[in-house]
Amino acid sequence: MNKQPIEQSIREFIAVNLLYSTEEFTLPAEASLLNEGILDSLGVVELVEFVQNHFGIKVAQKEVTPDNFGSVGKLVGFVCGKLDMDKGEIPRDLPS
């Protein structure tokens, strides 16, 4: 699975919706979204709603952990795992 478009979508969402920025979100994939103060309780909800709606996956509350949502890299891995599990296709509107 090509992870690049997934990572790009997540980065765009964080930049626009969590940081209210017109610039790219350039923090390294492994940087902690929690320790950087990017993800508060509202941001977590927004990010969960985004990955559910954008990638067409279901996220259980027990899956909303730092291991899955704590960094861009972890979230990409989580989404890829879900898409693999569902044998789903990556939605066509993802940026290439």
Give the footprint of other proteins on this chain (CB under 8 A): 34-37, 39-46, 48-49, 61-62, 64-67, 69
- Tell me how far, at minimum, the Cβ of 24 lies from other proteins, in Å: 22
- Tell me how far, at minimum, the Cβ of 57 lies from other proteins, in Å: 15
SS (H, E, C) the chain: CCCHHHHHHHHHHHHHHHCCCCCCCCCCCCCCCCCCCCCCHHHHHHHHHHHHHHHCCCCCHHHCCHHHHCCHHHHHHHHHHHHHHCCCCCCCCCCC
- Tell me how far, at minimum, the Cβ of 84 lies from other proteins, in Å: 23
Nearer to other proteins, 39 or 83 (CB): 39
